[in-house]
Amino acid sequence: MADLEAAAARDRQSQRLGITEQRNPASADLDRMSSLEIVTVMNKEDHKVADAVQQALPQIARAVDAVVAGLRSGGRLIYMGAGTSGRLGVLDAAECPPTFRTDPNLVVGLIAGGKGAMFTAVEGAEDSAELGVSDLNELQLTAQDVVIGVAASGRTPYVIGGLDRARELGATTISLACNTGARTSAHADIAIEIDNGPEVITGSSRLKAGTSQKLVLNMISTAAMVRMGKVYGNLMVDVAPNNTKLIERAERIVMAAAGCGREQARAALRAAGGHAKTAIVMVIRGVDAAQARRALDAADGFVRAAIEEPGATADPPRCAAALAERPSVQPDSIVFTQSDPVSPHGDTKE
């Protein structure tokens, strides 16, 4: 009888815990397994992640629409989180300048504990709601900004404090958690909850939870940049060619988009100052760089509109002008801006 009562008590406790803190039966004997058995279990569990993300696609799409609206009104996209969740936000923010030629202040990553927390765990930083408020205050948050709070557990005080402060200032708030019924969901305008099931190692949310967060952040930033005219077809036409690999990629992009040879693409890129968008319009419309830039300006940077409907306007974004007017503010919690000496800018995957 006592054993049954103890088991029932454990079940009740498990139900109170978030899914990321519960034990996974599939890995209960992990310490007895061979290397192949361990990675096989992990691989099987990882297969569940994409399906879990699929269940949240409507909420993710709503988040994309909110980000686009914010950017078009002159706002920024700001990620904030602690530990792995914070690092993933920083990573996504760091990749936007080389991939989409965005201003380094347009997509920002905040991590509890500042730059040092990117490389070494800063114990206790995530438990401070006040720190989340302080970090956002240093950014001079506005109602046009969009703040995404990333917390696998869905209950990180740093994130909740930041989301509450953002809502006070009228900014759009989005929460991303890997538990259903997450506390952070109640503090956001749009709540994304991914149920990946328990981790292979109990509580190690750097595993499936981290993988799902990376997938979701990829979707949000990528889809938003597509909607902002940073992509033509599936080509990253705003790529910043900062190294040999990206220079060659820019040439291939112009060749594919304009249907020309490498020499013509290379010459157009030289004339366009390395700007693939301008080079594409130059080749397709048979104009010089200045004319191509005017066509792109009239089309608000959308290559398709500049080519197909010269002078057309596609719901103009005001982000560049707004950012130019706003002072560059970079608190210690912002990591890896393009001007940062440790920034891996240009390190966009093939």
- Give the catalytic positions in this structure: 95, 126
Q: What is the dihedral of CA 11, 12, 15, 17, to 10 degrees?
A: -100
Residue type, 304: R
Give SS3 for 330.
coil
C-alpha dihedral sign at 214, 219, 220, 221: positive
H-state helical runs in the chain: 2-16, 35-54, 57-72, 83-100, 116-119, 129-138, 157-168, 208-227, 244-258, 262-271, 276-285, 289-298, 303-308, 319-325
Give the separation between CA 39 and CA 42, rounded to whole angstroms.
5
Which helix or strand (DSSP H or E) is residue 192 part of?
strand 190-193
Q: How far apart are the first and last CA of the chain?
A: 60
